[in-house]
Amino acid sequence: MKEYIVNSLEETRQWAAEFAKTLSAPVVVALHGDLGMGKSEIARKIIQTLRGADTVVPSPTFTIVQSYDGISHFDLYRVEDESELTEIGLEHAMVNDITLIEWPEIAQSMLPKDTIHLYISEYNDGRKIVIK
Ligand SMILES: Nc1ncnc2c1ncn2[C@@H]1O[C@H](COP(=O)(O)OP(=O)(O)O)[C@@H](O)[C@H]1O
Ligand SMILES: [Mg+2]
82-100: average pLDDT: 96
| Closest C-alpha to 100, from 128, 82, 120, 80 | 120
Q: How far is the CA of 41 from the centre of ligand 2 (A)?
A: 7
Domains and CATH numbers, the chain: 2-131 (3.40.50.300)
Residue 62's pLDDT band, with cuts at 50, 70 and 90, is: confident
Answer whether 14 contacts ligand 1 (Cβ < 6 A).
Answer: no
- Distance in Å, CA 35 to ligand 2 centroid: 7
Q: Is 15 helix (H, G, I), strand (E, B) or coil?
A: helix
Radius of gyration over every alpha carbon of the chain, rounded to an integer in angstroms: 14
Closest CA to 28 of 113, 105, 98, 107: 98
- Please identify every residue whose CB atom is under 5 Å from ligand 2, which is an ion: 39-40, 102
In this prediction, residue 90 has a pLDDT band, given cuts at 50, 70 and 90, of very high
Residue 39's nearest CA partner among 132, 123, 121 is 121
pTM of the model: 0.97
Q: Given a cut of 90, is residue 39 above it in pLDDT? A: yes
